[in-house]
Amino acid sequence: MIKSVLHPLFLQYPVICTDTRDIKKNSLFFALKGTHFNGNQFAKDALNKGSAYAIIDEQEYLLDERYILVDNVLKTLQDLATYHREYLGINILALTGSNGKTTTKELINAVLQQKFNTVATKGNLNNHIGVPLTLLSMNDKTEFGIIEFGANHPKEIEFLSKIAKPDFGLITNFGKAHLEGFGNLQGVIKTKTELYDFLKENDKLVFVNTNDKVQMETSKNINRIIIGENADVSVKLIAVNPFVSVAYKEQIIQSNMIGVYNFSNIAFAIGVGDYFKVSPQKIKNAIENYIPQNNRSQLLKKGTNTFLLDAYNANPTSMKAALDNFLQLRVPNKYIILGDMFELGETAEQEHQMLVDYLKDASVIKIVLLGGNFYKTKLPSNKFTKYKSKKDFLENVTISALSETNFLIKGSRGMQLEKLLE
């Protein structure tokens, strides 16, 4: 079915749609199912709006030759993506990790675009649906694919690896993220290294951060390129003030990335570019021209105040890294606003309290804690204030009334802390 029917049809109509609110003319509509919806029920609407064919998996919706009946629409989408990936035969690099995945993906894409026609995961389409859609967005003009793998349960990275069949891979880091699904840090490490397992089994290559002991240990029996100081690809941290600058092949690269935690993300991009023989000057240009967006380590100015906005996501590891970076910056009048961290399961109360305790001696003028989890914490001093919600905070504090203050704002995506600056 995939080889004889669906893939030839896809080559003729190479646009995939899964939502009737966003139908493209002459597309293929895949009637996916969710907890609260059945895509089969929308197949007719998709065809009326311009789709050429609808792929369904329930007989009762088979009305004419424009409907293609399969056993399972989701599995068919995934199988089609894998077949298409093999049909194209291009290099695919996959990356996963607890923190920095999207930033690293964007940096690698920026570097490889200097030499190749690339396709990279858009946004955070990094799951069992997003990965196939990314693969199916590639065509015969694509020379290199960069795929982000996300996971919050064991075996997900293994599953995504079998779909995308990467030739190269990297793990940004291992942190306390999605503990609700992984159970503990060892669960995180076991799941993330499923990517290493796939690459080892298929005699492929991994890029490894020499400063990460877990990466070095878990990748020691795999073909690998080690990146960092005194490594296969030498990249050295020069300064963080507040932007990260690095040394690579006798040149200084001044990034627009804030925080020492971004050093490894930059180093990975340099290492990948170096391996694929992108010239040092083009690597430098790509990294220096990359501007963080989407609430990721953005430096914003409003009046006399400066905001380090890192509100895209948060977990205990990334939160501590952001705090360490902010606390060592040589700026006056530091003010911290933290929002709840999600998906921590039974460890949520403990992890939030540990962060509060960690900050008890911090040299700042104020620490504000927002959200139900932080509201349960015991505060060590009157330097701390806690509110159940953003609304409660904004009813009591006017940020714009403060002046010459340096803010760190960080929390999980669901907290939407960027709205504090609206």
Spatial neighbors of 374 by CB under 8 A, at least 6 apart, are 338, 339, 340, 352, 356, 386
Spatial neighbors of 141 by CB under 8 A, at least 6 apart, are 117
- The β-bridge partners of 240 are 244
Residue 185 is predicted with a pLDDT of: 72
Residue 299 is predicted with a pLDDT of: 87
Give the residue ranges of the chain where pLDDT is below 50. Answer: none
Kindly provide the b/e burial profile for residues 288-306, where b requires at least 16 CB atoms within 10 angstroms of the residue's own CB. Answer: eebebeebbbbeeeeeebb
Residue 123 is predicted with a pLDDT of: 80
Nearest CA-CA partner of 176 in 52, 314, 331: 314
Residue 293 is predicted with a pLDDT of: 77
Residue whose structure tokens are 């990275």:
157
Residue pLDDT, tens place only, 6-58: 999 999 999 999 999 999 999 999 999 988 899 999 999 999 999 999 999 99
How far apart CA 7 and CA 338 sit, in angstroms, is: 48
Nearest CA-CA partner of 302 in 202, 401, 171: 401
Residue 242 is predicted with a pLDDT of: 83
Residue 181 is predicted with a pLDDT of: 56
Residue 343 is predicted with a pLDDT of: 84
What domains can be seen in the chain, in order of their start residue? 2-71 (3.40.1390.10), 89-288 (3.40.1190.10), 298-421 (3.90.190.20)
Helix then strand then coil, % of the chain, to nearest 5: 40, 25, 35
Six token digits for residue 378: 């015991």
Residue 115 is predicted with a pLDDT of: 98
